[in-house]
A = this chain, B = another copy of it.
């Protein structure tokens, strides 16, 4: 017993945060340290796949439930399709199979026998939805179909990073079919806007909405729209995409319906998805050198009550009373009544990104107050014990708004303008961020920029600006203003 007690004492005296790398020294290592120390995930024996530990999965559940409610308000219905795609089905749409075949996992044996036809584990389910819609859609009365599924998908990535890129990841994929091209385009944009609002209102992440260039669009899509966020290190992260397929898949799969005018027509389709990457985005936008900083709306624990001198009479009782009152007011709240020191508990609450801690000790109780500590900016606020359940919900709202504002300021401060390649190169090398620059529309210029400075076109934003008249790369007349950046 002696030995393990001793070790625990040493650990308790040491701050948990000492173990993490400073984000200014090595951002990638800081990220890895945070996801491990905040116990969001763990590595596994399955190469490139991760475990979502309770603290990580609980964030995903909060994302899911709030996004799903928004989906359903727009008429989305959830379904579930098989995880396997027979090879012949994957091969039906030419661009799509070229895009995905090199990175799928193949099932070749079922039980003790080889399969007659091998199947891949879905990397995305356009082909399965098309195969389903082909039989399910007969008449204009069957339209629109606005279906979504929450599931996991597999892409055989070579390099993986927790939440950002893994061989298996969790996501939602919406797949819709419509009678007209206009309606499909409307749904594509509607879902992109839903994603953007969700990121801003729930994850406190501001995003740029725009259209992908042909080079960057989804395999098989007519148009891909994207929301792009800027991480703390100045790198971009594609955070959600919405695709308009036109009638390309419908023609490849023969999805036709009898319209009101009694003629056979092809449907117009869309798909749209977001993934557990959103968790990675949240970490890299809001986190700091003390660990995770979670926006209140997706924090599994919003308030941690930390008793001071908890062995003194009445302290724990008051802590539990506050917890019960806050829970009744709809807060997600816990008391840390473990036998660790308050300092250790503070570090843990900070590492886990819990938005507010409440400190309460004998002197506070005597004075009829407690102290709120804000995780996002370190501010301390005295609060009368009577007012805790009215003040905390207001404070959580304030934190949610302030976090978005802070992220927006950081993003705007790291968004630059370049008129030629030298300017662009200098920005990317010295003050990484988004670079707004004009583009002629030629893929050769995108390729050149990628080759020279490892930056890609993030999107052609809906809000266009006229920075100059000529392409940042070739100097020919410019067609579009593009956001460029190095990306995850």
Contacts and interface: CB of A to CB of B under 8 A. Distances in A.
8 contacts: A4-B258, A42-B136, A46-B128, A53-B79, A57-B80, A102-B111, A105-B107, A110-B167
B86 A46 contact: yes
Nearest to A44: B82
A135 B110 CA distance: 31
Q: Which of A83, A108, A110, A258 has the most CB of B within 10 A?
A: A110
A105 to B, nearest CB: 5
A104 interface: yes
A140 B481 CA distance: 59
A364 B260 CA distance: 35
A379 interface: no
A236 interface: no
A78 B57 contact: yes
A58 B77 CA distance: 8
Given A45-B86, A106-B107, A151-B152, A51 B78 contact: no
A46 B85 contact: yes
A3 interface: yes
A57 B46 CA distance: 30
Contacts of A82: 44, 46, 49-51, 168
Nearest to A134: B45
A344 interface: no
B45 A89 contact: yes
Categorize the interface residue count of chain A. Answer: 35 or more
Q: Which of A51, A53, A119, A131 has the most CB of B within 10 A?
A: A51
Interface in A331-385: none
Contact of A61 (B78, B105, B111, B132): B78
A430 interface: no
A45 B51 CA distance: 31
A414 B145 CA distance: 44
A294 interface: no
A3 B104 contact: no
9 residue pairs, one from A and one from B, having the closest CB atoms: A49-B82, A54-B77, A52-B80, A106-B109, A110-B156, A111-B156, A46-B82, A1-B262, A108-B108
Contacts of A320: none
A170 B78 CA distance: 14
B54 A84 contact: no
Given A57-B79, A83-B152, A110-B167, 4 more contacts: A58-B78, A80-B152, A107-B121, A121-B121
Nearest to A110: B156
Interface in A458-479: none
Given A79-B57, A131-B45, A262-B4, A103 B107 contact: no
Contacts of A425: none
Given A85-B46, A154-B83, A112 B102 contact: yes
A81 interface: yes
A22 interface: no
A261 B147 CA distance: 56
A427 to B, nearest CB: 35
A274 interface: no
Interface string A59-94: 011000000000000000111111111100100000
A79 B54 contact: yes
A193 interface: no
Q: Which of A45, A109, A151, A261 has the most CB of B within 10 A?
A: A45
Contacts of A54: 77-79, 147
A180 interface: no
